[in-house]
Each structure stands twice: as structure tokens, then as C-alpha cells.
């Protein structure tokens, strides 16, 4: 049974946004709850959904992952992500229906492996979410020429990340910009592979700015 935590506005206040938080490999849903609450401080009318990964990581019941990292390689990375994307879509669609929130107001927020899942989800399913905030993450396979992506992408990465090099984020930002996908990249120079208060604040600020820019564009 997958563990899913849900937080949000009171029943009297309908949710205006849906934020789905995807944790890193070897963690669980609870590891993302502090980040979710920080986002709630900036977006008090958002519904927060914090699920655990689909499979065990090692032998510890509390440690989960979205896809197996055993013998993970450049050759099988994309196939492993693709195999779980239908379950991600089912999860997000269910929560969109339950909360009455449309695609354009849905945001996938992922850290490390969860960020990869978020990025690949909106690459494969352009109508799934309006935005992604990906921390210390990378695409399993960079978007190819002609790829249609309808989401705003906000990348936040540590300058000293030794697990997922900043080079992946920098390369992704260049390619997305070339595809005319709205993208921001924040490299926090003194940060390693970690989801810190500063990183969370930077990502939530970029998300807020993107929502504001989108609203302003629709008024003209």
C-alpha cells in the first residue's frame, strides 16, 4: 500500500493549486513534508500531496524509490523511468479530480530521483502539469529537437553537487530554452546535494514569479 499524505486548505476554501511532492531515492514521503509546509507558507490556498515511492529501497521498509537504482546505467535509465510514468499519471490525475484542480494549476515538485520523475513526466505527458520545480535532478534523457513541453520548468541545483552534477541542469536549461520552454535555473554555489531551506525558498519564489508572469500574459 502506497503511503500518501495530504494537506491543504480548509473544506470551506477550495484549492486553487495542486502541488505533488516527489522524494529522493532511499527516502520516503515524510522527508518531503517540511518542504511541502514551506511551500504552503507561500501558497496557502494550495492542496499538498506527498506520496511515497512505488518500491522498496534496500531492506528498510521506510526507504522507498520510484524506480530501481540497482545496476542503473545510462542505457536503462530512460526505460526504468518510462515504466513507472503511467502510475505517476494515475496518481496525479486522481488528485486533480479529488481536489478539482486543472492541469495548468498542478505543479510537480521533486528532489533528486523525484525531480527526474517530475521532469520526465511532463516531457512524456505535456497535459499533466503546468509547472515543475526540480531540485538536484536531471532528465533521464534530454528532450530532443521538436519535443513539445507545455510546462514551466524551474531547476534549482547545488554548485557543489557531487551526486548529480550541475552540468546536467545547465545543459537541460540550454536545451529547454532552445525549445522555447519557459525555464529558470538557479545554481546555489555553496550547496551540495541537499534540499535546504534556501533551495526550497528559491524554487518556490521562481514558481510564484512564473505564475505571476503567466497571469500577466493572459491579461494582454
pLDDT tens-digit readout, 67-107 = 989 899 999 999 999 999 999 999 999 999 999 999 999 99
User: Which portions of the chain are predicted below pLDDT 70?
Assistant: 1, 10-11, 215-220
CB 149 within 8 A of CB 116: no
Beta bridge partners of 157: 187
pTM of the model: 0.94
CA torsion through residues 148, 183, 68, 74, sign: positive
Range 4-218 classified under CATH 2.60.40.1220? no
Domain boundaries, the chain: 4-218
Amino acid at each position: 500500500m502506497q503511503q500518501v499524505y495530504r494537506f491543504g486548505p480548509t473544506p470551506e476554501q477550495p484549492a486553487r493549486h495542486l502541488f505533488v511532492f516527489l522524494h529522493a531515492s532511499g527516502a520516503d514521503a515524510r522527508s518531503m513534508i517540511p518542504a511541502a509546509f514551506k511551500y504552503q507558507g507561500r501558497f496557502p490556498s494550495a492542496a499538498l500531496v506527498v506520496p511515497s515511492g512505488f518500491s522498496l529501497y534496500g531492506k528498510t521498509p521506510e526507504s522507498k524509490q520510484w524506480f530501481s537504482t540497482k545496476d542503473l546505467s545510462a542505457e536503462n535509465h530512460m526505460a526504468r523511468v518510462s515504466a513507472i510514468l503511467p502510475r505517476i499519471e494515475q496518481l496525479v490525475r486522481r488528485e486533480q479530480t479529488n481536489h478539482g484542480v486543472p492541469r495548468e494549476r498542478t505543479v510537480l515538485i521533486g528532489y533528486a530521483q523525484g525531480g527526474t520523475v517530475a521532469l520526465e513526466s511532463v516531457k512524456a505527458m505535456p497535459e499533466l502539469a503546468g509547472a515543475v520545480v526540480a531540485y538536484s535532478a536531471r532528465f533521464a534523457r534530454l528532450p530532443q529537437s521538436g519535443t513539445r513541453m507545455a510546462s514551466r520548468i524551474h531547476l534549482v541545483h547545488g554548485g557543489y553537487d557531487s551526486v548529480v552534477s550541475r552540468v546536467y541542469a545547465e545543459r537541460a536549461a540550454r536545451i529547454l530554452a532552445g525549445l522555447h520552454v519557459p525555464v529558470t535555473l538557479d545554481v546555489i554555489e555553496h550547496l551540495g546535494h541537499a534540499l535546504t531551506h534556501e533551495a526550497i525558498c528559491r524554487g518556490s519564489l521562481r514558481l510564484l514569479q512564473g505564475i505571476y508572469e503567466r497571469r500577466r500574459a493572459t491579461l494582454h
